Amino acid sequence: MVKDLLRQKLRNCLEQITEEQRAEKSKKACQNLISTPQFRSASVIMIFLSLPEEIDTTQAIEYGWREGKTITVPKVYWEEKYMIPVKINSFNDGFSTEIGGLRNPLTDESVPLELIDLVVTPALGFDRAGHRIGRSGGFYDRFFAEQKLRAKKCGFGFAEQVLEDDLVPATVTDIPIDFLVTDEQIIYFK
Q: How many Å apart are CA 176 and CA 189, to the nearest integer?
A: 9
Closest C-alpha among 30, 24, 93 to residue 61: 30
Q: Are 167 and 129 in contact (CB under 8 A)?
A: yes
Q: Based on the structure, what is the number of domains in the chain?
A: 1
Which residues make Cβ contacts (< 8 Å) with residue 12, sequence separation at least 6?
Answer: none
Poorest-pLDDT segment among 17-26, 30-39, 145-154, 160-169: 160-169
Is pLDDT above 70 for 1?
A: no
Give 177's pLDDT tier (boundaries 50, 70, 90).
very high
Position 3 scores a pLDDT of 81
pLDDT digits (tens, 9 = 90+) for 60-86: 999 999 999 999 999 999 888 889 999
Cα angle for residues 48, 51, 54 (degrees, 5° grid) = 90
Q: What is the mean pLDDT of the chain?
A: 92
- Domain span at 184: 3-188
Closest C-alpha among 81, 99, 53 to residue 143: 81
Poorest-pLDDT segment among 68-82, 92-106, 160-174: 160-174
Position 109 scores a pLDDT of 86
Position 166 scores a pLDDT of 62
Average pLDDT of the segment spanning 162-175: 80
User: Which CATH number belongs to the domain containing residue 156 in this structure?
Assistant: 3.40.50.10420
Q: Are strands 82-87 and 70-77 parallel, antiparallel or unpaired?
A: antiparallel
